[in-house]
Structure 1
Amino acid sequence: MAGPGPQGGATPRRTPGTPVPSATDWLRRSDPERRAAATPRVLLAALATGLLTAWLLCDGMGPNLLLLGGTAAVGAGIAARSAGRRIRPWTVVWSLLALALLAVPALWDAGWPAALAVGGALALASLALHGGRRWPGVLLALPGILWQLLSSAVWAWETMERRAVPGRGRIVPVLKALAVAAALLTVFGLLFASADAAMADLLANLSPSLDLDRLPARLLLFVLGTLTALGFAHIAAGPRRWDRTVVRPGRERRRLEWALPLVALVLMFGAFAVIQAVVVLGGADAVLGNTGMSRSEYARQGFWQLSVITVLTLVVVAVAKRWAPRTTPTDRRVARLLLGLLCLLALVVVASALGRMWFYVDASGLTRLRLWVLVVEVWLGVVFLLLIAAGLTRGADWLPRVVVLSGMLTVAAYGLMGPDAIVAEQNVARYERALRADPHTATIDLRNVRSLSADAVSALDRLPDPQRTCALLPIRQGLEQGETPWYAAGASAARARQILAERPLKEHVVGGRGACEQAGLARDRW
């Protein structure tokens, strides 16, 4: 008698003569059907991207990223056209959103939102070129550019080796001779310059002005920019079909074994929802009497724990969906009902966490971290709404792409709204309200606002002295470290310099920079 099937837990017997599955079969399944060769125009676009990266990006991030993204897109477009690929609607959506993300460094000066936006733009560009509908296709395509960097260089080299270049026999010797001449002139020129001052002056006038200290960084940026552009072109010429990756469904659990833990969790979430309703609707005396807290204290505590609960709930939903019983229609209805209830109650947790953070910010002010966690918590609420909508519809093929779209829209909105400017505006407005209520007790968290970037200058400029001077001194010091070219700085940095030039800081009011530190940075004590 044959043993139990795969759902019973035993390994199925292999028919004699059938090949043993390889650990890399899933990767072979995603191999492109065909890949177009690298053309000279693709290589020129990649080299142009590398040169622009070395020239523009060494000074910082700003509008230059839009230019670099455009030149890399040209190379990818040429490769896609050579492969006969067509533009699809989702390709346009991902591409436009990637451009919106690259605009963040052009507008604002803060580093963390800019780095997050650039990473998101690279991931979206990879997804736009790969395509993908299912979870494997979408999630594996996002970091796809990372494992295309080295293979794209091999692809370019091999295709150009096979291509007949007119005049190669005359061009290659000339290039070799120029390289040898440059090496000899560099070595002997440096020796002559160190041996004779007049010779050093002559060579300095003849040679182009180069910052040798930054030369290694520019070479690294050139290589990185060229490989990135080649990587995108490599994807466009023949993307991997990650949607072909086979993800075997998890082994079904018996209905009681699967449902009992979920029912217990749903009951706990329900109890939490009832308590929150009691507190919000005003009948909270019995609840708060046992905790010994006031209503505001109760509302402010527990935000971080609730945020962790929200993330863990997503993990529980994903694991439970994989192991859910699905043999009969009743099994599927029970699974849909319990998972839907859990997602619905998770929205109560999200709403409670957001409400607590609102009280927390009202009592202690807004910081970068608090704003970022607020934005992430809102996105998690959107994800739960999407999961509920997917459970109510018959087909949920749209879910993977819409979840990624919602996440990238969140990153774009967070970057484009200027987080540092919002943090400064909220703290200054809170301080102004406190001044109107009682000037003697009004305080502002100077340690928080002094750590912000130039994006905060417009709001902090409204503070009275000496608070204004103490808040803006470190920001001005950062702006004075070096004049940044227009292509490597956000527009907010230019506005900040203009404001500080029109209204110089009054260091004599605070007695210099050291006086601000001595006055206490944790809280304003002026």
Structure 2
Amino acid sequence: MSRLRPAKPGSIHSATLWSVLATALLSALVLGDGIGLNLLVVAVPASLAAYFAARAAGRRLRPWTAVWGAGGLALLVVPALRDAGWPSFLAVVSAVALGSLALHGSRSWPGVFLGSVGLFTSVAPSLGWGARGVRERMAGSRGGWGVAFRSTAVAAVLLIVFGALFASADAAFADVLGNLIPDVSVGEGPWRIFLAALGLAGALAAAYTAAAPVRWDGVTVRPGRARGRLEWALPLIVLNLLFAVFLAIQLTVLLGGYDKVMAETDLSYSEYARQGFWQLLWATLLTLLVIALALRWAPRGGARDRTLVRGVLGTLCLLTLVVVASALRRMDLYVDAYGLTRLRISVAAVELWLGVVLVLIMAAGVFGRRLLPRAVAASAAVGVLAFGLVSPDGLIAEQNVQRYRSDHSIDVEYLRGLSADAVPALDTLPEPLRTCALEEIQRTLRSSDEPWYATSWGEKRARDILGDWDPGFREIGCRGLGSGDNGSERGGEVDDPYDPYDPY
């Protein structure tokens, strides 16, 4: 770390300090009620702290830094739009990784990987850096900072006193004030203090990294020993032949569909589609590992060796793309028979992203590998953002409702566990399916009193649709309702109407 990190930054800038303090204050006030638009509210002063620190250190804004920074802020839009926690969690984690990349400016494979988590290495030194800056200003400002703190405290007291008086004098003003100002109770004091400390440490770490980033690109991986052409190419050519034979058989499935599957195999429809997808997903992942190892030990003798490497690995990438298409086709057949779930849409999205990575690898073989690490990281961020914006829970509900209208069964017990993003589709079900699917979501909405900045647009839309509807107590049992009532999975007899493989 002493070799990779440059000299310690100079004294912390006043603008950076004020931005850090604003981040800590906003974290304490708005993050304790949930996540939504408040993440963006807190991220803005933290980003300003990093910007002021970088400018004071003489760093310039580079194109990729702007891309990573804008992408990280864009990912924080997902919690503000979607009520579902799982895509929001992915978006927040990805936003932190992109923010860390923006601060470090890495470009190599080790640099992109370590730079995405390198922000955490700056937490400890940044605390001392910030404390020294405060002490220097308190000692050398001739009371200027003391005056600022006293003035801020007096202004806060005046706002609280007169705001309370005006709120008690006018109900409309009290309602507006209650919607704008966070409701902080004494019992939440420790929790709010922890959030303030978290925001302070995060903003300070971002500013410290912006001023003195770790040069993760200095971590190098030595290339492997170059192999001879025959020794290197023979195993890969055999693997390409195996892929080609497998895919020639798969073309009948891709083009023939369900009836062709049943005619060619002794497996049931669900067994064929389910088992095949997971095996092909693993085959795609292992192929990427094979490509990485092949590049490490590839012959490097001259133009003929480069042509051999590009031809063999390009063919392998192209054949693997067809494997990706086959896996997605199997998942499509499976979803058509048994409906969409969180696990199925997640692994299909991962398989689709792996296909994008293969295309980027092929492009790197033609145009050069310099941008490949950053392109792969950018594609992952775009995938997470798109996954959150399309509303997975909404798609799941919509697809299952559409299947029900096409005389297929529907698993109400599963759908009732979705988030408020699923309400627009579930609200179109006939009774009593609608009540069974929406009662848990509505009870959660009615018991929630989150402020506007911690409420997602998906939750607000669900409230607008359901209104004041009270599901109350019902004597109708929902368990098993809709499972197999309205037609079998394929319109005929099946041995496995319920899929136990998917726990989600």
> TM-score with structure 2 length normalisation?
0.83
Shift of 1:260: 2.9
Counterpart position of 2:480? 520
Distance in structure 1 (CA, Å) of the matches to 2:373 and 2:221:
15
Counterpart position of 2:492? none
Counterpart position of 2:389? 416
Distance in structure 1 (CA, Å) of the matches to 2:484 and 2:258:
35
| Matches for 1:118-517 after TM superposition, within 5 Å | 118-162=92-136, 164-167=139-142, 171=146, 211-282=185-256, 291-293=265-267, 298-299=272-273, 301-393=275-367, 395-434=368-407, 442-501=408-467, 504=469, 510-511=474-475, 515-516=477-478
| Contact 1:29-1:245 at 8 Å conserved across structures | no
Distance in structure 2 (CA, Å) of the matches to 1:367 and 1:314:
27
Opposite residue 483 of structure 1, the aligned amino acid is D
Partner of 2:102, secondary structure, is helix
Q: How many pairs are equivalent?
A: 454
Q: Aligned pair in 2 of structure 1 residues 246, 166: CA closer, same or farther (>3 Å)?
A: same
| Contact 1:37-1:237 at 8 Å conserved across structures | no
Q: Aligned pair in 2 of structure 1 residues 291, 505: CA closer, same or farther (>3 Å)?
A: same
| Contact 1:278-1:284 at 8 Å conserved across structures | no
| Contact 2:284-2:323 at 8 Å conserved across structures | yes
| Matches for 1:10-159 after TM superposition, within 5 Å | 27-32=1-6, 35-159=9-133
Q: Aligned pair in 2 of structure 1 residues 391, 33: CA closer, same or farther (>3 Å)?
A: farther
| Contact 1:420-1:456 at 8 Å conserved across structures | yes
Distance in structure 1 (CA, Å) of the matches to 2:119 and 2:31:
20
| Contact 1:79-1:233 at 8 Å conserved across structures | yes
Structure 2, unpaired ranges of 5+ = 154-181, 487-504
Shift of 1:485: 0.5
Q: Which moved more, 1:253-262 or 1:162-171?
A: 162-171
Distance in structure 2 (CA, Å) of the matches to 1:282 and 1:114:
38
Q: Which moved more, 1:56-65 or 1:491-500?
A: 491-500
Q: Aligned pair in 2 of structure 1 residues 128, 286: CA closer, same or farther (>3 Å)?
A: closer
Distance in structure 1 (CA, Å) of the matches to 2:133 and 2:213:
17
Distance in structure 1 (CA, Å) of the matches to 2:57 and 2:144:
30
Distance in structure 2 (CA, Å) of the matches to 1:169 and 1:462:
63
Q: Deviations over 1:136-159 (max 9, x none)?
A: 222221112121112211222234
Partner of 2:448, secondary structure, is coil
Distance in structure 2 (CA, Å) of the matches to 1:457 and 1:169:
55
Q: Deviations over 1:124-178 (max 9, x none)?
A: 1111121122222222211121211122112222344455532369959x99xx9
Partner of 1:49, secondary structure, is helix
Q: Aligned pair in 2 of structure 1 residues 212, 347: CA closer, same or farther (>3 Å)?
A: same
Opposite residue 469 of structure 1, the aligned amino acid is T
Computing the radius of gyration from Cα coordinates, the structure with the larger value is 1
Q: Aligned pair in 2 of structure 1 residues 252, 484: CA closer, same or farther (>3 Å)?
A: same
Distance in structure 2 (CA, Å) of the matches to 1:227 and 1:284:
56
Shift of 1:308: 1.3
Distance in structure 2 (CA, Å) of the matches to 1:282 and 1:433:
22
Opposite residue 431 of structure 1, the aligned amino acid is Y
Q: Aligned pair in 2 of structure 1 residues 246, 379: CA closer, same or farther (>3 Å)?
A: same
Shift of 1:286: 9.8
Distance in structure 1 (CA, Å) of the matches to 2:260 and 2:348:
30
| Contact 2:110-2:219 at 8 Å conserved across structures | yes
Distance in structure 2 (CA, Å) of the matches to 1:307 and 1:214:
46
Opposite residue 140 of structure 2, the aligned amino acid is V
| Contact 1:469-1:505 at 8 Å conserved across structures | no
Q: Deviations over 1:399-432 (max 9, x none)?
A: 1111111110000000111111111111111112
Partner of 1:145, secondary structure, is helix
Distance in structure 1 (CA, Å) of the matches to 2:463 and 2:255:
50
| Contact 2:410-2:483 at 8 Å conserved across structures | yes
Shift of 1:344: 1.0
Q: Aligned pair in 2 of structure 1 residues 87, 294: CA closer, same or farther (>3 Å)?
A: same
Distance in structure 1 (CA, Å) of the matches to 2:448 and 2:27:
20
Opposite residue 419 of structure 1, the aligned amino acid is P
Counterpart position of 2:178? none
